[in-house]
Amino acid sequence: MKYEEFIEQVRRRAHLSSESEAKRAAQATLETLAAYISPKERHDAASQLPRVIKEYMQRPFLGAGKPPAPSPESSQIVEDFYQRVSELEEKPLETAREHARAVMSVLHDALSEGEFEDIRAELPTALYNEFFAGS
């Protein structure tokens, strides 16, 4: 998938009015996702993505003054994920939640099934269920 197509799909699925909003949503979500998966999986996923999107996957966002991603057992892991997206995107939590879901949907379409499964396998169960239950 080409960069323009990735961003256009995010724009459509998140019901955004501009390309710049879609870019910001993609960057916030993918940099947040990168904090929850291993460096190897970030690299492997990035190798299948357009250059700019690849850069987002290689820059894990931990949040201002936050430790690394919470442990998989954390009961707050889903809310923490959305809070980090909200902080980076500078949008309200509910808006960030909608945008993150759209970006993750596009990411699923952009990656090979094998790579997508590798990422899903590394995600904490609560995040897996949030984004991919029924996929």
pLDDT digits (tens, 9 = 90+) for 21-47: 999 999 999 999 998 899 999 999 999
The tokens describing 4, both together, are 């323009």
Q: DSSP secondary-structure letter at 70?
A: P
pLDDT tens, position by position, 80-127: 999 999 999 999 999 999 999 999 999 999 999 999 899 988 888 889
Contacts of 15 (CB under 8 A, 6+ apart): 98
Task: Say what the pLDDT of residue 19 is.
Answer: 97
In the predicted model, is pLDDT for residue 62 greater than 70?
no
Q: Within 47-92, where are the H helices?
A: 51-57, 77-89
Q: With bands split at pLDDT 50, 70 and 90, how would you rate the model's confidence at 20?
A: very high
Q: Which CATH class is domain 3-132?
A: mainly alpha
Angle between helices 19-34 and 3-13 (to 10 degrees): 100
Whether the CA torsion 62, 64, 65, 71 is positive or negative: it is negative
pLDDT at res. 109: 94
Instruction: Report pTM.
Output: 0.88
